[in-house]
Amino acid sequence: MTLTRILVTCIALSVPAALLSQGAEIAFGGLSQDTGLPVEVGADKLEIDQADGAATFTGNVEISQGEMVLTAGRARVIYGADGAITEMQASEGVTLVNGGEAAEAAEAVYSIEAGTVVMTGDVILTQGSNALSSQRLVIDLARGTGTLEGRVRTIFQPGAQ
């Protein structure tokens, strides 16, 4: 567990019940993304499954597309019939960063065609000095919005941007 995750969890547990909910949609403009941009993947190891053509990257995985960067311990890249990437499944400590916004989770699935990233498992989202946590975050990259689901806890800093 990272220091950031520990601090946010401790602070989130002290938030008044009035700020807690089962789901919340938030502006996610810093993570809006053109899904047509090239995707670059780097890792320590690559295995290709000849049966389905999927590629599994392990060890210090870094996936970038434009300004968006996703890091994880493992990522499986799924290709369509035309050879284009259709989906990326990341696990083992996922962090997604773009501009001043960042999200951490246990796992993430990036659907290129749908333009969505679904992060699950102890999600922590930071936007500047504000922090939110939940069990699931769905990011719509085209609209620049995110929906937190599960037990949502928020920390808003008065006067913060």
In DSSP terms, 116 is beta-bridged to 111, 140
Give the pLDDT confidence score for residue 95 in this predicted structure. 97
- Mean pLDDT over 72-91 rounds to 93
- The answer to whether 135 touches 123, Cβ cutoff 8 Å, is yes
Residue range 5-26, pLDDT digits in tens: 433 333 333 333 333 344 455 6
For the chain, give every domain's residue range: 3-33+78-155
Distance CA 10, CA 85 (A): 38
CA gap 110, 35 in Å, rounded: 10
Question: Is 5 within 8 Å of 122 (Cβ atoms)?
Answer: yes
Burial status of residue 137 (CB atoms within 10 A of its CB: 0-12, 13-18, 19 or more): buried
pLDDT band at 121 (very low <50, low <70, confident <90, very high): very high
What CATH number was assigned to the domain covering residues 3-33+78-155? 2.60.450
At residue 12, the pLDDT reads 38
Residue 115 tokens read as 């333009």
74 touches 61 (CB < 8 A):
yes
pLDDT confidence bin for 154, thresholds 50/70/90 = confident
- Which tokens in the block code for residue 87? 């989906």
Report the length, in residues, of the chain: 161
Query: Which percentage of the chain shows pLDDT scores above 90?
Result: 47
